Amino acid sequence: MNDTVIELKNITKRYGYGDTESFALKDFDLTVKRGEFIMIMGPSGCGKTTLLNIMGLLDRASDGEYYLNGEDVSSISAARSARLRAKKIGFIFQNFNLIQDLPILENVALPLVYVNKPRTVRLKSASEALRRFHLGEREYYLPSQLSGGQQQRAAIARAIVSDPEIILADEPTGNLDSRSSHIVMEELKAIHEEGNTIIMVTHNPALTVYATRVINMLDGQIDTDIKTVEDHNLPQPIDNKPKRHRRRRH
């Protein structure tokens, strides 16, 4: 059984008006099933990042419909979209985006602040997540005291700490050397195999081996869309009930 996590219908993102009007996305349709690992590729300016921002509720489409877990989120309030970001979406960025003044433990615990988890629970979950990415020894390091690869692993820990429905990664390996890239991709692969849905933007064709589906974009539209794994073979969460139980077993 494959749930639909994301459904985009006729999504259009328009910038400017009249002569200066341009489209980052034009009548974009996409359906994402639970357990997919989608890589989005394409030349600069083809709308990859805009797509990711819209899916992550950081940006709003000019037109079209967006269903997240069956809920129409095309025109929800800012407060509601902040809540959904906290609960259902995990971001991984090219430049890690960790708060420099906070130790990585607090950085990882950050999303839990906004879902009203008590401090002890936050730090415990964050600590678990960090241990999982082999950073358990460095909980109290500041981001600047870690290597790029380590920072990105901390950022991945932050993305999964609140058990999101989808993980959105915008060129997570873009700032890393090949060795660190490899480690980061292995970690992403591992969390995908647990049944997480990952949508990743990349420029590096070599990374498509990790994907279950590769989408090539051109001028705000889908150019090619190739599934390498059949829907029924996608990794699924061990149980679909509260995902927290699932994570606790690891």
Partner 1 sequence: MSLLLRTHLKLARTSIKENRTRSFLTCLGIAIGIASIILILSLTGSISNLISEEISDIGSGLIVVRPNTSKDSVTSIIEQLTSSSSFERSNLSYKDVETIKKIDGVTNVAPIAISSNTISNGDNTLASATVLGTTPDLIEIEPMTFRFGTFISDKNKESSVVVGHTIALQLFNTQNPVGKTLHFYDQRYIIVGVLEEIDKSINFDNVDYDNAIIMDIETLGKVIGQPQIQQINVKAGSTSELEGISGKIREDLVASKSGDTNFSVAYGDEITHPASTLFTIVSGMLTLVASISLVVGGIGVMNIMLVSVSERTHEIGIRKAVGASRYNILMQFMFEALILSILGGIMGIILGYILAFFVSVVTPFTPYISWQIIAITFATTLAVGVIFGIYPAIKAAAKNPIESLKHYR
Closer residue to partner 1, CB minimum distance, 127 or 162: 162
Residue 101 token pair = 């003044």
**Shortest distance, position 4 Cβ to partner 1, whole Å:** 23
**Shortest distance, position 71 Cβ to partner 1, whole Å:** 16
**Shortest distance, position 156 Cβ to partner 1, whole Å:** 13
**Shortest distance, position 155 Cβ to partner 1, whole Å:** 10
Closer residue to partner 1, CB minimum distance, 113 or 209: 113
Residue 182 token pair = 């490899």
Instruction: Tell me how far apart the alpha carbons of residues 80 and 57 are, in angstroms, rounded to a whole number.
Output: 10
Q: What is the SS3 assignment for 91?
A: strand
Closer residue to partner 1, CB minimum distance, 35 or 56: 56
**Shortest distance, position 76 Cβ to partner 1, whole Å:** 12
Closer residue to partner 1, CB minimum distance, 1 or 79: 79
Say how many Å lie between the first and final Cα of the chain, rounded.
23
Q: What is the SS3 assignment for 172?
A: coil
Report which of 208, 178, 210, 209 is spatially closest to residue 193, judged by C-alpha positions.
Answer: 210
CB 37 within 8 A of CB 212: yes
CB 167 within 8 A of CB 198: yes
User: Under the rule (CB under 8 A), what is the footprint of partner 1?
Assistant: 53, 56, 58-59, 78-79, 82-83, 85-87, 89, 91, 93, 95, 97-101, 110-111, 113-119, 158, 162
Closer residue to partner 1, CB minimum distance, 37 or 91: 91
